[in-house]
Amino acid sequence: MQSLISHIQQYCPIGKTALKSLAGALQKVELPKGAFLTTEGKTCNHVYFLEQGCLRGFYNLDGKDITYWFAFENNFVTSFFSFISRKPGVENIQLLEDCTLWAISYDELQHLYAKHTDIERLGRIMHERYYVMLEERFVANHFKEARERYENLATATPHILQRVPLGYIASYLGITQETLSRIRSKT
Amino acid sequence: MQSLISHIQQYCPIGKTALKSLAGALQKVELPKGAFLTTEGKTCNHVYFLEQGCLRGFYNLDGKDITYWFAFENNFVTSFFSFISRKPGVENIQLLEDCTLWAISYDELQHLYAKHTDIERLGRIMHERYYVMLEERFVANHFKEARERYENLATATPHILQRVPLGYIASYLGITQETLSRIRSKT
DNA sequence: TTTCTATTTTGACTTATGTCAAAATTATTG
DNA sequence: CAATAATTTTGACATAAGTCAAAATAGAAA
């Protein structure tokens, strides 16, 4: 849990009382590679802090899996649309490695928001941060060619290439596996 | 200002005191078509509520303007990356019509966050909302063909087609103006 | 209206990327 | 280590979308 605490303190100072409540609400979850945190059609009731391992979010388009994000250590993950809107989502979240996570339920989180201003603030700041990350990624991909998107990825987050099968990376980049393979061979 | 108040009450109830502070911090801004709210290289110090009119966010890529969002009535707009991170941004925000906006500065907003829990909550909820909207758009564009992206746009937000020049819409969709024109002629 | 400007469409051609199928390579596990 | 499964690469070909240039149309201003 220490990794979670230092992660959040990095963005927003949290008082001792709030921290204690937060710690009390968290549940340690350990799952094997291949397991799912949520699947299409379900309402996602938890947000997770990923302490160890990596995972992907994907959805189904015309029978194909489209991976649209990866998460690695020290990040919060959930099916945001579903978690926030309280409606069934279209996303699947699947572990790409054995993972250690800390889970907090929607109700507990709302309770913490109501009780601790520090945590409400943390929630806001985390959402700002995630919004900006998504926007940066959006801009990084918009109107660029596949080769350039791949090179950006390889430079910015080379660890993805080590830990994730190429097929998932291709769909993340919005291209087919064959095209990605060809891009890589001509480097 | 009534439109702003009813907009936010829709998502989160705000107490009278907080509402009064908020109203006091807002400044009415009226600008003509073509004006800019922020430009590349500047740190954006305000968030705006768009009461009337429409505008676009764009950035420069290899000398070309890339429009990546539009905003219409009853939405908050700013250069989020710059506003949140307090660093110079790459975005330009330009009015596509004469607009009426309500502005609040970064410092005033932080002050309101610190003073009113309601407003901190509003901030969090708005950021959740904007995150989900961005994510939905991301998913809507990912891995689909240009014609399909255009048809989604025409169905979901037909008013864009009435109010925005085609060239901007093309770059928003990630295609050239010529391709968009051909898609439209074959409908 | 007429003129001038901005926007949109069309044409000819090039290029990037997709599709389908098969081969090669790399991991996994009995 | 051998056998099986998963992943990655390669080939041949089809197609969506880009580029550059010019024409057509619509809008704004005189």
Q: Among A126, A62, A69, A75, which Cα is nearest to A92's?
A: A69
Check CB contact of B113 with chain A, cutoff 8 Å.
yes
A162-178 tens-digit pLDDT: 899 999 999 999 999 99
B80-103 tens-digit pLDDT: 999 999 999 999 999 999 999 999
Tokens for B28, please give them. 């009415």
Give the three-class secondary structure for B167: helix
- Section B33-60 average pLDDT: 93
- Section B161-181 average pLDDT: 93
Q: What is the pLDDT of residue A187?
A: 64
- Section B166-185 average pLDDT: 94
A99-127 tens-digit pLDDT: 999 999 999 999 999 999 999 999 999 99
What is the ipTM metric for this complex?
0.85
What whole-number distance in Å separates Cα of residue A10 and Cα of residue A172? Answer: 28
Percent helix, strand, coil in chain B, to 5, is 50, 25, 25
In this model, does residue B62 exceed pLDDT 80?
Answer: no
- Section B72-76 average pLDDT: 94
Which residue in B62, B127, B177 has the most chain A C-beta atoms within 10 A of its own C-beta, making it the best mutation to test that interface? B127
Q: What is the pLDDT of residue A143?
A: 67
Instruction: Name residues 80-139 of chain A with a Cβ under 7 Å from nucleic strand C.
Output: none
What whole-number distance in Å separates Cα of residue A85 and Cα of residue B51? Answer: 25
What whole-number distance in Å separates Cα of residue B148 and Cα of residue B175? Answer: 12
In this model, does residue B110 exceed pLDDT 90?
Answer: yes
A176 touches strand C (CB under 7 A): yes
Residues 119-178 of A with CB under 8 A from B: 120-121, 123-124, 127-132, 134-136, 138-139, 142-144, 171, 174
Q: Is A158 exposed, middle or buried (0-12, 13-18, 19+ CB in 10 A)?
A: exposed
Amino acid letter, residue A35: A
Residues B81, A135: C-beta atoms closer than 8 Å: yes
Amino acid letter, residue A139: V
Which residue in B132, B169, B176, B179 has the most chain A C-beta atoms within 10 A of its own C-beta, making it the best mutation to test that interface? B132
What's chain A's average pLDDT?
91
Give the three-class secondary structure for A142: coil
With a cut of 70, list the residues of chain A below it in pLDDT: 143, 187
What burial letters (b/e) apply to B29-52, b meaning 16+ CB within 10 Å?
bebeeeeebbeeeeebbbbbbbbe
Q: Where are the alpha helices (DSSP H) in chain A?
A: 2-9, 16-25, 80-85, 106-115, 117-141, 146-156, 158-163, 166-173, 177-185
What whole-number distance in Å separates Cα of residue B74 and Cα of residue B52? Answer: 8
Q: What is the pLDDT of residue B61?
A: 78
Q: What is the pLDDT of residue B187?
A: 64
Q: What is the pLDDT of residue B143?
A: 66
Amino acid letter, residue B29: V
Tokens for A80, please give them. 């945001």
Residues B132, A85: C-beta atoms closer than 8 Å: yes
In chain A, which residue's Cα lies nearest the Cα of B140? A61
What burial letters (b/e) apply to A85-119, b meaning 16+ CB within 10 Å?
eeebbbbbbbbbeebebbbbebebbeebbeebbbb
- Section B107-123 average pLDDT: 95
